[in-house]
Amino acid sequence: MGGPRTGGWADAAQLSFFIEELPISKKHTEISSSISTQVSRDKIGMESFNHKNQGAVMEKDREHIVLLQAETEPIKIDLLKSAVIVVDMQNCFVRKGGYFDLAGNDISAAQKIIEPCKHVITSMRKKGSKILYLQMGCSSDLSDAAAADSPSSHKSGGLVMIKQRPELRDKVYIYGTWGADIIEELKPLQEDIIVRKQRYDGFFGTNLDIILRTLGVRNLLFIGIATNVCVESTIRHAFFLDYFPILVSDAVSQMGSDITQQATILNVQSAFGWVTSSENLLNAIHNLNK
């Protein structure tokens, strides 16, 4: 009977001998005392274990929770419950010879945000955040574009260009063409997710919401183009769905004059979310590593 004890109890033979040697009047008291002492020890040991385990969990949580400086107030976010939403960073909107350029829009602002977008994507991906790309476009037969009598057929410049100059289809955003492709500098990795959309709003008619909820995402950091059109449309819908939208102001570019950029920034920080910069975000991640 020389084996190890289990849970600190004596083996059956030892316990039986101990009971037989006790006077009848003391058996109940001594056994109860022994059991009570052992239970107390087990309870103390379990409490100590739980305390240490809880401390380890809290310490691990701190490894991916950052305080992000933003307007109109700082916001604390869990990077493992956050996603970067890369909006429409496609050749047709960013590149020379793409739809935006051919339509006479100034694409210099769009090209300037490539580097900030790259830094945000790379840094957040390393910290375990999800990267989702919204890709504006439609099928080659235009069956999912818009009905001829719909407002989109009149207000969507890409669809208007396709109708007026069909030879430029591959410069616009027909899926499978150069125009619709995400730019090479921000090319998605295998673990990233691409969500195709046919409207400005990334939630409308897509599975974006169910993807985010499946991943347990609560915080959405928006980068890409156009600030005042697709970015703002998606931010508003995200807010209505109880996500925490965060606009990275130097990683988004507007369509039109700078006043439209400032208008969206004001709208977001006052009513629909938070506004930060790529520098603030990178600093928050850097401070996490200290």
Active site residues: 88, 197, 230
Number of alpha carbons in the 13 Å side-chain half-sphere of residue 141 = 1
Gyration radius (Cα) of the chain, Å? 30
Structure tokens given for 160: 């208007």
Name the token pair of 159: 């669809």
The amino acid that residue 172 corresponds to is V
Neighbours of 139 (CB within 10 A): 13
> Which tokens is 111 given?
């090209």
Burial class of residue 3, CB neighbours in 10 A (0-12, 13-18, 19+): exposed
If you search the block for the tokens 């955040």, which residue do you land on?
129
Q: Are 247 and 265 in contact (CB under 8 A)?
A: yes
Query: Please, where are the H alpha helices in the chain?
Result: 12-21, 24-62, 91-94, 99-102, 108-112, 114-126, 151-155, 157-164, 208-215, 232-240, 258-267, 278-288
Beta bridge partners of 84: 131, 221
